[in-house]
């Protein structure tokens, strides 16, 4: 259990390192919109004078779904429920350095700290009867309201991005944000979304468990309980598609077809957070053949759900969160990096605007520019078969591992795998040693 907790702890603060001085904290002026414990919600902002591009980032960090799990979260992860000690970040797509962030470095950057524990969906204030407020969706709306007095009213593009629970939050809020801007008379702002590691599956767990805590509870059951507890809101078009079962809207492949705004999906094919809630724990021991098969099937299931997504970046790596990593430019799919893929997506949306004069409401496929792919997904079948995957570390020792060491550590049978792939074992061994 300790190892599982350590993994959970290591997954959520990925987006919470030190913040540099030039991102300034703003508490919301509307004090009725709060964190779980009633402390003021807020955001960090770095202005870029003269830029008409805005990047709003939703922080991730799991959730809680009843009084027991929220009490436990408040004891162990108070910084995700209260603004008294804010987590702070600026990396990857949030970096102001062109060499670290080639296409968005000079945008106005806004980091919205996660302190609502509701996957950015709630609209319930703290009352005498309830111990916690769940106001994630209202926090997003209120931040947008404040930014409209700080230059957002002149924006050309608003990119709503997020990682993990923040990525799911993008799916739930991107249309809300666009509709809110339109209702305020700013329909000229092109609203888009980038969903990083927030495309979860409502699949069957490897080992079924009782729904006692956030880490081991099946995602479907946790969200069903959570949406009632939070008073969670989902986009109207998705609500209508799933009347009475709005929990479906928290799963990417079910909400994506209902969205009106363009969304780019960044998703590891072997996401550590997904494996954790599916009760596959890669800790120190060789895994059983059943687990290995489950992991491979997970990659295939995920590929299947991404089939209809127009713009995506899906490497076959075992990891969680990408766009806030310092080395986010190093990962490639079929020779294309993520910043390059996002740039291609940007260009395709601009081209579409010129063609049909719309405000980017169409999600439909535009012909990509030559050498500018939008649909990037690894086809190799096991974790870390992509040579540009991030370094793997043994979770017990912290030692770096090569792909070959990692696969052996996981009980990978080269002969059997070669047989399944219809290959000569020595050829497969050579490929793995080279990391290809």
**Both tokens of residue 88?**
């702070």
Residue 57 has a CB neighbour count (10 Å cut-off) of 29
**Both tokens of residue 301?**
């299931």
Q: Please indicate whether residue 71 is annotated as part of the active site.
A: no
How many whole angstroms separate alpha carbon 296 and alpha carbon 301? 9
Q: How far is CA 338 from the centre of its chain?
A: 14
Region at 62 (left for phi over 0; alpha for psi -120 to 50; beta for the rest): left
How many whole angstroms separate alpha carbon 4 and alpha carbon 435? 28
**Both tokens of residue 1?**
């259990």
How many helices (H) does the chain have, and how many strands (E)? 13, 15
Q: What values do phi and psi take at 75, rounded to 5? A: -75, -40
Q: Which of 118, 213, 271, 378 is catalytic?
A: 271
Q: Which of 176, 186, 281, 320 is catalytic?
A: 320
Q: Which of 116, 137, 163, 164 is catalytic?
A: 164
Tokens 């540009």 appear where? Answer: 388
Tokens 């770095």 appear where? Answer: 46
Q: Do 75 and 64 form a contact (C-beta atoms < 8 A)?
A: no
DSSP secondary structure, 158-197, as one string: EEEEEETHHHHHHHHHHHHHHHHHHHTT-TTSEEEEEEES
Q: What dihedral do alpha carbons 18, 20, 23, 26 form, nearest 10°?
A: 50
Beta bridge partners of 264: 194, 311
| Residue 299: its H or E element | helix 289-306
Q: Please indicate whether residue 358 is annotated as part of the active site.
A: no
For 240-300, where are the E strands, in sequence order?
A: 263-266, 270-271
Q: Please indicate whether residue 137 is annotated as part of the active site.
A: no
How many whole angstroms separate alpha carbon 177 and alpha carbon 11? 27
Which residues are known catalytic residues? 164, 271, 320
């Amino acid at each position: 259990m300790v190892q599982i907790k350590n993994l959970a702890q290591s997954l959520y603060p990925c987006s919470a390192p030190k913040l540099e001085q030039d991102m300034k904290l703003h508490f919301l002026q509307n004090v009725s919109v709060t964190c779980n414990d009633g402390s003021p919600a807020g955001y960090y902002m770095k202005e870029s004078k003269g830029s008409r591009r805005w990047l709003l980032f939703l922080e991730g960090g799991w959730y809680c779904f009843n009084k027991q799990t929220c009490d436990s979260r408040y004891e162990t992860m108070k910084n995700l429920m209260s603004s008294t000690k804010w987590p702070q970040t600026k990396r990857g797509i949030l970096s102001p350095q062109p060499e670290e962030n080639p296409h968005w470095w000079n945008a106005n950057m806004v980091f919205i700290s996660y302190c609502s524990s509701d996957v950015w969906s709630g609209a319930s204030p703290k009352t005498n009867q309830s111990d916690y407020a769940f106001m994630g969706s209202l926090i997003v709306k209120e931040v947008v309201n404040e930014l409209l007095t700080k230059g957002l009213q002149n924006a050309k593009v608003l990119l709503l991005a997020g990682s993990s629970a923040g990525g799911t939050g993008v799916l739930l809020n991107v249309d809300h944000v666009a509709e809110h801007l339109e209702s305020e008379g700013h329909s000229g702002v092109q609203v888009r979304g980038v969903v990083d590691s927030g495309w979860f599956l409502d699949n069957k767990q490897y080992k079924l468990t009782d729904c006692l805590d956030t880490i081991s509870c099946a995602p479907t059951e946790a969200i069903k309980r959570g949406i009632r507890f939070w008073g969670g809101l989902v986009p109207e078009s998705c609500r209508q598609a799933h009347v009475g079962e709005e929990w479906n809207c928290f799963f990417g492949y079910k909400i994506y077809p209902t969205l009106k705004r363009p969304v780019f999906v960044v998703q590891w094919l072997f996401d550590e957070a997904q494996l954790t809630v599916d009760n596959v724990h890669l800790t120190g021991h060789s895994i059983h053949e059943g687990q290995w098969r489950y992991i491979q099937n997970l990659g295939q299931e995920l590929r299947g759900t991404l089939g209809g997504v127009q713009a995506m970046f899906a490497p076959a790596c075992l990891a969680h969160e990408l766009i806030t990593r310092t080395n986010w430019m190093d990962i490639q799919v079929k020779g294309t990096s993520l910043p390059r893929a996002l740039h291609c997506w940007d260009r395709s949306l601009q081209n579409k605007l010129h063609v049909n004069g719309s405000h980017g409401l169409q999600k439909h496929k535009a012909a990509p520019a030559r050498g500018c792919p939008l649909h990037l997904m690894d086809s190799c079948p096991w974790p870390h078969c992509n040579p540009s995957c991030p370094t793997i570390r043994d979770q017990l020792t912290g030692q770096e591992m090569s792909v070959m060491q990692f696969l052996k550590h996981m009980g990978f049978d080269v002969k059997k795998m070669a047989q399944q792939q219809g290959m000569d074992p020595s050829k497969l061994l050579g490929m793995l040693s080279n990391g290809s």
